[in-house]
Amino acid sequence: MDNNELLNKVTSKAKEWLSETYDEKTRQEVRRMLESEDKTELIDSFYKQLEFGTGGLRGIMGAGINRMNIYTVGAATQGLSNYLKVNFSELDEIKVAIGHDCRNNSRLFAETCAGVFAANGIKVLLFDDLRPTPELSFVIREFKCQSGIILTASHNPKEYNGYKAYWDDGSQIVAPHDVNIVNEVKNIKPEDIKFNGPDELITIIGEEADKLFLKKVKTASLSPDVVERHKDIKIVYTPIHGTGVKLIPAAIRAFGFTNIFNVPEQDVVSGNFPTVVSPNPEEVAAMKMAIEKAKKIDADVVMASDPDADRIGVAVKNDKGEFIIVNGNQTALLFIYYIIIKMKENGQMKGNEFIVKTIVSTELIAEIARKNNVEYFDVYTGFKFIAEVIRENEGVKKYIGGGEESFGFMPADFVRDKDAVTSCALMAEITAWAIDQGKTLYELLQDIYLEYGYSKEKMKYVVRKGQSGAAEIQKIMESLRNNPPKILGGSDLEVVKDYLSLKEKNVLTGKESDINQKTTSNVLQFFTKDGTKISVRPSGTEPKIKFYFEVKGQLTSREGFDLAEEIASSKIDSIMEELGL
């Protein structure tokens, strides 16, 4: 399609939004784009439909079919309503829960969705104000809802918003419902959306749900005696302007800790995230203010959550007295190690326990499980896949923890999504447990490496926005799929796993085998003879292609940790250079 043809197409689509179907504010926004000499915004807003994918919606806010607005979220909700009414037709009452984060328009979108559900005869439990995503998951289960949604764009920049849909087990929707709902939403036209249902079908919830959730969070504690001995450790926490401010300090206090320091500037709830460029606890800049606070008070641990409080960021003091952010893999290692060791000490292991990790996460998690005779599962990126494993093993095997490299962990199954609320409280307890043994968290992490083997991980992403960017990302994947590198970091490529074909091939022997996953995914993995693992996948929610690196190293003492880190970092850098990153 040439530029003139594309412009004609988007102009035609945009003019449809000037009809009486749309409100005056939306029509004004569309007129502005049509009249502007620069057609970039017009094209990006109308060149494609904002897809209701298997995880929901996520996009820039504004008018247009490729934007987050009351019409795109309304269409998603109408499609979901249609599907729920078919799937739960035997019930006298269908019930959904709705939550939202701190983002601009999140409350508007939440109320819009509540009105659409109600207009379709569906009972709604709507939170009175912003709440963490894990609480929404809990409420679906606790109040026996058939579905739920939360309006959030997680840690994306302020221009974004999103819509995540959940099923009756509190998990984000998986097959076959995900594809079926996507198809239902695709068929919704603006005139099909039923807005403004009766108020009597909408119940506002809040404090009662909070109390029930926090009571359940407290059950994740494994060392109340340790907490009692070290309840006054210094904990710095920041919600980075998001929903964590509502419940995370309360959860940490519920565990028994008394010395929590906040960052007042970042307790301010704001969808503009005024103190950061990106509200992502993976980034040093986002945690800078909390770390500065920690330096002043000589804190024992620093924690942060993203805007919807499902991801946890942790900073610890290293052997030089500097606060450093531990990556998501390291956070997961600390959790898994602690949970398994403490459950063994407490006599809570019955032999049917399991953990779950994602395929792009560190293989050391699997090593900890293997050496402790705990079953583990590998799943695709996304906690809906972790929740799916839990559902399949419900009543037979016991889930005790699971996570992924992108700063998400789920310590218990009363929530079926990433859970920074419970994770922050449990990380405070792990800090106290380390101190109880005369160690810092940093030293505890080093001891895990000494016992189970050392590896270093790094993630690099390449951003390619818009229509041309999506095509470029596709070309990168095709090139790697058709011409995989023969040597990486000085080691021969040994195994290639292609999750699009679900085939694993040993390139040295030519042997092929099937990959045990239910569905395909556009992910490639390369394994070299020396244990290096490289995973490549386009993001499902952002205009990015992500490269995950994990290299093995030698570590025989804490004193050798810095050297091991330096050697591993250098190796990752050389591999990235070989891949042109």
Active site residues: 154
Strands (DSSP E) found in 340-421: 353-358, 375-379, 398-404, 408-410
Strands (DSSP E) found in 133-177: 147-151, 160-166
Angle at 558 between CA 555 and CA 560, to 5 degrees: 55
How many Å apart are CA 52 and CA 32, to the nearest integer? 26
How many Å apart are CA 533 and CA 544, to the nearest integer? 20
The pair of structure tokens assigned to 201 is 């079908």
User: Using CA atoms in the order 246, 250, 255, 258, what is the torsion angle rounded to 10 degrees?
Assistant: 140
How many Å apart are CA 261 and CA 131, to the nearest integer? 21
Q: Which of 293, 296, 279, 291 is nearest to 243 (CA)?
A: 279
How many Å apart are CA 244 and CA 252, to the nearest integer? 11
User: Using CA atoms in the order 408, 412, 415, 420, what is the torsion angle rounded to 10 degrees?
Assistant: -40
Whether the link from the prior residue into 264 is cis, omega within 30° of 0, is no
Encoded amino acid at 415, one letter: V
Contacts of 121 (CB under 8 A, 6+ apart): 85, 94, 197, 201
Residue appearing with tokens 């030089």: 320
Contacts of 143 (CB under 8 A, 6+ apart): 95, 97, 125, 209
How many Å apart are CA 580 and CA 574, to the nearest integer? 10
Residue appearing with tokens 């076959």: 176
Contacts of 137 (CB under 8 A, 6+ apart): 148, 166, 170, 171, 415, 416, 417, 419
Burial 349-373 (b: 16+ CB within 10 A, else e): beeebbbbbbbbbbbbbbbbbeebe
User: What would you measure as the largest C-alpha separation in the chain, in angstroms?
Assistant: 71
How many Å apart are CA 448 and CA 430, to the nearest integer? 13
309 touches 133 (CB < 8 A): yes
How many Å apart are CA 174 and CA 191, to the nearest integer? 28
3-class state of residue 219 by DSSP: coil
SS3 content of the chain, % helix, strand, coil (to 5): 40, 20, 35
- Other CB atoms within a 10 A radius of the CB of residue 86 amount to 10
